[in-house]
Structure 1
Amino acid sequence: MYHTALLFQPIHALDFPKVSSYLAALSKEKKSRHFPDTLCPDLHIYPLYDKYGIIIMLRRTRLKDSNRANSNGRGVEVDSQGIYYHAIEIRLNPKVLIQENEYVKVARASDYNDIRGQFKKVLKPIQKLFEGNPSHEIYRFNELSEYQVKRFDYCINIRTELHEVYMGLIKRADVPARFIVMSELDEKTGRRKSYDQSFYLQTKKHSVGINFYNKQYQMYKDFEDYERLEDACNIIRLEIQCLAGKTNSMKQKHEWKYRDFINFANDDISRKMIYDYYEKTVGFEDYYTLEEAKRRVLSFKVHRNKTKAKIVEVLELVNQKRSIHKARLEYSDELSDKKAVTEFNSVIKIIKKSGTNPVTIPVNWGYSHIPNLVEEMDKEFTQLLRVV
Structure 2
Amino acid sequence: MPLPGQPTAAEFFAGIGLVRLGLEPAGFDVAWSNDIEPAKQAMYEAHFNDRGAHEYVLGDVAALRGTDLPAGLSLAWASFPCTDLSLAGWRRGLAGSHSSTFWEFTRILDELGQDRPPVVALENVVGLATSHGGDDLRAAISELNRLGYSADVLTLDARRFVPQSRPRLFIVGAQNPPSDSPAPSPLRPPWLALDPSLRTHRASLPTPPPLLVTGLSAAVERLSADDERWWTAPRADAFIGSLSPLQLERLTQLQAGKKLVYRTAYRRTRNGKPVWEVRPDDISGCLRTARGGSSKQAVVQAGRGSVRVRWMTPREYARLMGAGKYALDGLRNNQALFGFGDAVCVPVVRWLSENYLMPLARGEMSLEAAG
Q: Which has the higher contact order (CA 8 A, sep 6+)?
A: 2
Q: Same fold (TM over 0.5)?
A: no
* Larger gyration radius, structure 1 or structure 2: 1
Q: How does the TM-score come out when normalised to structure 1?
A: 0.25
Q: How does the TM-score come out when normalised to structure 2?
A: 0.26
